[in-house]
């Protein structure tokens, strides 16, 4: 089921803890709207030490939707989450696989892989905006990365991981500026696409990439 909002960052976790669930994983993805690079998902089970009270005086109070946090802070928080005792899993769907199966399927596939990669089997999933094809009990929460602490933590982990990937792609193919815009369709990226055509890291099924490929008559090959 997909539902609306709760007022406190631990409200959803508290609700399912009271229902008897103990291994609650927050799940989120990043890169859905990018024109290049993989789609990345993360699943995070909060550490048992977080308890049933909102830790307003701890590092968890800084955890929120990754889109609202500056890059340097996200990197620091991702490291803090990793060292907190949280159980973390990260999964990717490449641009080639995304082109083959479609964006919606890739989104769910990345999330499912992230959940299946957890070293502890979750008994409840809190997922940003949707539900996935696993038998595990789950709740899809609209704007989940702004409503649930575990989903927000997953959003930070996934965002930092994908940003690192895009920085690596920028070093290998600097013509597109992947390190700056992370593959999203900003004007500078669209201008680079128009000038150079798509590279193997682009999602060939996305309209701006298709248009650039048609203009250039072919796609660049992998060296």
pLDDT at 61: 85
**Does 204 reside within a domain?**
no
Whether 190 is covered by a domain: the verdict is no
Count of domains observed in the chain: 1
Q: Report the alpha-carbon distance of residue 144 to residue 60 in Å, rounded.
A: 16
CA neighbours closer than 13 Å in the CB half-sphere of residue 127: 25
Say which residue, 219 or 86, is predicted with more confidence. 86
CA-based nearest residue to 123, from 16, 12, 23, 26: 23
pLDDT (average), residues 60-79: 92
**According to the model, what pLDDT value does residue 1 have?**
53
187 SS3 class: helix
CATH code at 139? Answer: 3.30.420.10
Residue 183 lies in a domain: no
| pLDDT at residue 27, as a whole number | 98
Q: Which domain holds residue 25?
A: 2-170
Residue 5, pLDDT > 70, answer no
Q: Is 8 within a domain? A: yes
DSSP state of 120: S
- Considering the entire predicted model, what is its pTM? 0.91
What is the distance of C-alpha 95 from the center of its chain?
A: 14
């Amino acid at each position: 089921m997909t539902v609306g909002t709760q007022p406190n960052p631990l409200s959803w976790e508290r609700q399912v803890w009271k229902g008897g669930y103990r291994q609650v994983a927050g799940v989120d993805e990043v890169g859905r709207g990018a024109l290049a690079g993989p789609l990345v998902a993360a699943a995070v089970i909060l550490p048992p030490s977080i308890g049933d009270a909102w830790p307003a005086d701890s590092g968890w109070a800084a955890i929120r939707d990754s889109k609202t946090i500056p890059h340097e802070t996200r990197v620091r928080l991702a490291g803090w989450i990793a060292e907190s005792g949280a159980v973390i899993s990260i999964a990717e769907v490449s641009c080639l696989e995304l082109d083959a199966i479609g964006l919606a399927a890739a989104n769910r596939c990345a999330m499912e892989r992230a959940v299946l990669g957890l070293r502890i089997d979750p008994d409840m999933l809190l997922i940003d905006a949707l539900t996935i094809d696993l038998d595990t009990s789950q709740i899809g929460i609209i704007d989940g990365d702004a409503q649930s602490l575990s989903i927000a933590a997953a959003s930070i982990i996934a965002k930092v991981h994908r940003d690192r990937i895009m920085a690596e792609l920028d070093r290998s193919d600097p013509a597109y500026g992947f390190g700056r815009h992370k593959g999203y369709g900003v004007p500078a990226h669209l201008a680079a696409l128009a000038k150079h055509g798509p590279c193997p890291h682009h999602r060939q099924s996305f309209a701006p990439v298709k248009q650039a490929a048609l203009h250039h008559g072919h796609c660049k090959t992998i060296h």
